[in-house]
Amino acid sequence: MKFWECPQRGTLIKRYKRFFVDVELETGTCVMAHCVNTGAMLGLTEPGSKVWVCPKKPQSLGKLPFVWMMEEVKEGHQAKPILVGTNTAIPSMLVKEALTEKRFPQWSDIKSFKSEPCLGESRLDFLLTFEHSLVWIEVKNVHLKHNTVALFPDCVTQRGTKHLRLLTALAQQGKTAVMLYVVQRNDCSVFQIAGYLDAEYGKAFEAAHQAGVVMLAYGCEMSLQGITIQSCPLEVQGVCWAPF
């Protein structure tokens, strides 16, 4: 997915009211940007962090002039900073693009797909249609990691638990249900659930896995031009119940 406009680098001043961040651009101008992430954003909200913001899309109805897209994260004294995605709307866009271009080998024979299909009074992210079957998919954004292990969630997520239970119900009915985690960074090889941060989500994940929900995780190639889902999935290792 190519960015609609070149991102601009700046320094994070503060995040507040969940949806807002103040950023001082390298030009010296201070701007307010939309934070498309309602979670804790553990490890990404430290004032002084180097961040990248994009001017909002021309067709966007948002009132803020910028959207927070990425942050530079450095681990260790000698490490080179890497880019980590901060916009939680991006993963669904990446999956939609990959489905359209048939870049998922396991779904290369897809006939069509629908975004945000209704499931009772709820919605999931995608419904894939094949010649003789359907596949339901929910997508989640991941940014947190320890060493090379990507972790989700970074705080309690009642909405995420609800989605896992919806997928579990589908799997118990004999339908194909997929939980797809998109890790907006390229330095992970393994994915785990951070049960020590949300025990209910951890339990729901284990129940979903036992019911037959397919668990997938993909890293991303991050650049100042755009973001792309990696071709090979990460190894999914289940729930981590104790902090590292």
Taking alpha carbons only, the member of 105, 165, 156 closest to residue 136 is 165
Q: What are phi and psi of 73, to 5 degrees?
A: -120, 130
Tokens of 98: 């990959």
> Domain coordinates of the chain in residue numbers?
8-85, 89-239
- Report the candidate in 6, 35, 39, 8 with the shortest Cα–Cα distance to residue 22: 35
pLDDT at position 59 is: 79
**Predicted pLDDT of residue 60:** 79
Which of 141, 136, 111 is closest to 126 using CA atoms?
136
Closest by CA to 69, choosing from 57, 49, 50, 86, is 86
Q: Which of 40, 36, 35, 96 is nearest to 228 (CA)?
A: 96
Burial class (CB in 10 A: 0-12, 13-18, 19+), 144: buried
List all residues 6 or more positions away from 214 whose beta carbon is below 8 Å from its beta carbon. Answer: 176, 177, 178, 179
End-to-end Cα spacing for the chain? 33
CATH number for the region 89-239 comes to 3.40.1350.60
Correct CATH for 8-85 of 1.10.3860.10, 3.30.390.30, 3.90.600.10, 2.40.50.580: 2.40.50.580
Angle subtended by helix axes 199-211 and 158-172, to nearest 10: 10
Whole-prediction pTM value? 0.96
pLDDT at residue 62, rounded to an integer? 79
pLDDT along the chain (244 residues), means of 10: 95 95 97 95 96 90 91 83 96 98 96 95 96 97 96 97 98 98 97 98 98 98 97 96 94
